[in-house]
């Protein structure tokens, strides 16, 4: 079903962005085989051009997937349409009454070193407004493995660092928030952990600690989650092979081009014509009035 999502993104990209986003959200809300999309949404396909309409729509699709995943575990959740200084997803517990804002993250496998700005932990804290919790959802294997400023930021700003794999584990186990299952300890992890970690260790990866809390909260074992991670690694390896094949094909296609065709492709890739048009538009708009 993930491949079908990519096809849907390509189809709706021909529309204006607002209409395309609404169509994507509706598609994800109603699609069968949602789990397959949930399991792969953390990796952006290499076939999607960088900084393209399709890439922006993929980001909105990841928001919609996150919102539906929250609904799958018993929360009321919606994708917010406002742009700028705001979170992308809002959720509420119908049983316990708490609210949260969330931001979904996906990365390309070809992406080089990521820094703290890529995760926007501090910004998400600011987007919390009146919500009780702020949750960042990123691919498990894209979080820094040893230490990073994002862990200190999470602790300092009370932002939960969740992963798609954590949600997959909860959804696959058919768990929903209920009178006997309150998921708020997960969203509150950073605040609680801030009272336990010493200053010297604030940048250290704490995913193992979060995992321990999740096992205790939902009543599952570490070995079960380990099996899920193994399955995800297998899926990622398969995706990786497909992405490498895509770039090998692109390389072969470029090698087969004539000199003039190659020059046209280079001009297109640098968006030279668009940049010239933008400069000309700027100049035409210059006025002292």
Q: How confident is the model at residue 243 (pLDDT cuts 50, 70, 90)?
A: confident
Helix ranges (H only) for the chain are 2-12, 17-30, 34-40, 53-72, 116-119, 121-126, 149-157, 164-172, 184-187, 189-194, 207-218, 222-255, 259-269, 272-284
Q: What is the mean pLDDT of the chain?
A: 85
pLDDT at 15 over 60: yes
Q: Give the rounded percent of residues in the chain with a pLDDT score beyond 90.
A: 31
Work out the widest C-alpha separation in the chain, in whole angstroms. Answer: 69
pLDDT at 6 over 90: no
- Structure confidence at residue 113 (pLDDT): 54
Structure tokens at 78: 């919606």
Handedness of CA 133, 136, 140, 142 (dihedral sign): negative
Q: How confident is the model at residue 114 (pLDDT cuts 50, 70, 90)?
A: low
Tell me the pLDDT tens digit for each residue of 20-67. Answer: 888 888 888 888 888 888 998 998 888 888 878 888 888 899 999 999
Helix axes 207-218, 222-255, angle to 10 degrees: 130
| The dihedral formed by the CA atoms of 34, 36, 40 and 42, expressed in degrees to the nearest 10 | 30
**What is the spatial order of strands in the sheet that 159-163 belongs to?**
76-79, 89-92, 99-104, 133-138, 159-163
- Structure confidence at residue 270 (pLDDT): 72
Q: How many angstroms separate the CA atoms of 179 and 284, rounded?
A: 64
Q: How many angstroms separate the CA atoms of 269 and 248, rounded?
A: 17
Residue pair 184/192 in contact (Cβ under 8 Å)? The answer is no
- Structure confidence at residue 210 (pLDDT): 93
- Structure confidence at residue 122 (pLDDT): 86
| The dihedral formed by the CA atoms of 239, 241, 245 and 247, expressed in degrees to the nearest 10 | 70
pLDDT at 284 over 80: no
Residue 230's CB is within 10 A of a number of other CB atoms, namely 9
**C-alpha triplet 53, 139, 85: angle, nearest 5°:** 55
Please indicate whether residue 262 or residue 138 has the higher confidence score (pLDDT).
138
- Structure confidence at residue 92 (pLDDT): 94
Work out the end-to-end distance of the chain between its first and last CA atoms, rounded to an integer number of angstroms: 55
Q: What is the mean pLDDT of residues 77-98?
A: 82
pLDDT at 282 over 70: no
- Structure confidence at residue 115 (pLDDT): 66
Structure tokens at 76: 């009321």
Q: What is the mean pLDDT of residues 213-229?
A: 91
pLDDT at 127 over 90: no
Tell me the pLDDT tens digit for each residue of 145-202. Answer: 888 889 999 998 999 999 999 999 999 989 999 999 999 999 999 998 888 878 878 8
**C-alpha triplet 229, 206, 109: angle, nearest 5°:** 50
- Structure confidence at residue 279 (pLDDT): 64
């Amino acid at each position: 079903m993930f491949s079908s999502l990519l096809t849907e993104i390509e189809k709706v990209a021909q529309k204006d962005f607002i209409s395309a986003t609404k169509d994507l959200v509706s598609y994800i809300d109603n699609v069968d085989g949602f789990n397959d999309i949930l399991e792969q949404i953390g990796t952006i396909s290499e076939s999607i051009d960088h900084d393209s309409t399709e890439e922006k729509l993929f980001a909105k699709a990841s928001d919609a997937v996150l919102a539906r995943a929250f609904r799958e575990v018993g929360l009321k959740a919606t994708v917010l349409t406002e742009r700028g200084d705001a979170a992308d997803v809002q959720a509420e517990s119908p049983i316990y009454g708490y609210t949260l804002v969330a931001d979904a993250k996906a990365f390309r496998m070809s992406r080089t070193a990521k820094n703290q700005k890529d995760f926007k932990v501090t910004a998400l804290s600011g987007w919390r407004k009146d919500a009780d919790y702020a949750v960042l959802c990123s691919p498990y294997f894209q979080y820094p493995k040893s230490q990073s400023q994002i862990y200190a930021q999470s602790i300092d700003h009370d932002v939960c660092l969740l992963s798609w794999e954590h949600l997959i584990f909860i959804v696959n186990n058919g768990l929903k928030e209920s009178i006997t299952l309150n998921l708020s300890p997960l969203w509150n992890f950073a605040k609680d952990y801030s009272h336990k970690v010493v200053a010297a260790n604030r940048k250290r990866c704490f995913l193992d600690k979060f995992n321990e809390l999740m096992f205790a909260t939902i009543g599952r074992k570490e070995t079960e989650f380990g099996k899920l991670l193994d399955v995800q690694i297998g899926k990622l390896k398969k995706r990786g092979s497909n992405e490498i094949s895509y770039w090998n094909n692109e390389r072969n296609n470029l090698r087969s081009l004539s000199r003039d065709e190659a020059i046209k492709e280079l001009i297109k890739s640098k968006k030279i014509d668009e940049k010239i048009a933008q400069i000309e538009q700027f100049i035409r708009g210059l006025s002292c009035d």
